[in-house]
């Protein structure tokens, strides 16, 4: 049996290194995961390219919210693809929709061309498309390598029926990668119910920060969901467990 590939969604250099330590074979590097992920900084990409030995894919998304972008935002996306390629990334992750919910084939084609020989994943913009099977064929025609999907549901374990159908329809022409809600508690069932060979996970745990002095009167952000002094980092032990379960 071929090895199941686990891709870890990471939001920092430390998390990426932790993911590699845990046995992930690829990372999707992004920022602002609380908004679904946006494009990370060039400095992080550059440092990780020097230190990672596993696949490094870069999220190309200029903001949170929907996937219908202005001309200005599209120009930013094009530049970010160029930067990712220049810095030696193995691939990019992007998705653009038209106002009617179909894949923006023209703009996605431009990004695919700019990506050159880098890998290309369409992210969960796919799940927001109006017709999943038309979107599947559009992305295949564009030469996209894989689709990250939760099966049109909030979490992949809820969308295994559609994911399975997409894998059957794709017939090896494109990789269908389940993501969202895939973890050590769900990986076995999602694998069994879909037959997928790649999975997208997070595997975060809360780690204490290094500050000894802590000012209770000041908060730099929404400390209800983003702790001021602790960090959500990829946990190598959780990744290792997911990898072992996926390949059991």
Asked, for residue 88, whether it belongs to a domain, the answer is yes
CATH number at residue 159: 3.20.20.380
Q: What mean pLDDT do residues 210-223 have?
A: 80
Asked, for residue 92, whether it belongs to a domain, the answer is yes
Residue at 59 is within a domain: yes
DSSP β-ladder status, 119-122 and 91-94? parallel
Strand partners, 119: 91
211 inside domain: no
Is 215 a domain residue?
no
Tens of pLDDT along 25-46? Answer: 999 999 999 899 999 999 999 9
pLDDT (0 to 100) of residue 225 = 63
In-domain check, residue 136 = yes
Q: Helix/strand/coil (H, E, C) string of 62-116?
A: CCCCCCCCCHHHHHHHHHHHHHHHHCCCCEEEECCECCCCCECHHHHHHHHHHHC
Range of the domain at 84: 5-206+235-246
Element holding 188 (H helix, E strand): helix 187-194
Span 90-144, pLDDT tens digits: 999 999 999 999 999 999 999 999 999 999 999 999 999 999 999 999 999 999 9
Residue 224 lies in a domain: no
> Number of structural domains, the chain?
1
pLDDT of residue 52: 98
Residue 223's pLDDT is: 55
240 domain residue, yes or no: yes
Decide which of 130 and 1 is more confident.
130
Strand 204-208 relative to strand 230-234: parallel, antiparallel, unpaired?
antiparallel
Round the average pLDDT of the chain to a whole number and report it.
95
Tokens of 222: 């929404």
């Amino acid at each position: 049996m071929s090895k199941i590939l686990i891709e870890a969604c990471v939001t920092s250099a430390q998390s990426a290194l932790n993911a590699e330590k845990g046995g992930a074979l690829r990372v999707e590097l992004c920022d602002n995961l609380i908004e679904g992920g946006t494009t990370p900084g060039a400095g992080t990409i550059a440092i990780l390219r020097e230190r990672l030995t596993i696949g490094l894919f870069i999220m190309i998304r200029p903001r949170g919210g929907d996937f219908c972008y202005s001309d200005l935002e599209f120009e930013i996306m094009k530049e970010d693809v160029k930067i990712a390629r220049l810095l030696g990334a193995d691939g990019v992750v992007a998705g653009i929709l038209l106002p009617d919910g179909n894949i923006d084939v023209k703009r996605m084609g431009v990004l695919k061309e700019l990506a050159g020989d880098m890998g290309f994943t369409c992210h969960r913009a796919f799940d927001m498309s109006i017709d999943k099977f038309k979107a599947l064929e559009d992305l295949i025609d564009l030469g996209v390598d894989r689709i990250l999907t939760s099966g049109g549901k909030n979490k992949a374990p809820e969308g295994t029926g559609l994911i399975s159908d997409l894998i059957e329809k794709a017939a090896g022409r494109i990789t269908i990668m389940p993501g969202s809600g895939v973890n050590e508690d769900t990986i076995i069932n999602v694998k069994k119910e879909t037959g997928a060979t790649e999975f997208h996970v997070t595997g975060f745990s809360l780690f204490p920060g290094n500050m000894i002095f802590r000012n209770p009167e000041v908060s730099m952000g929404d400390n209800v969901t983003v702790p001021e002094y602790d960090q959500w980092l990829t946990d190598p032990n959780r990744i290792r467990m997911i990898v072992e379960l996926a390949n059991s």
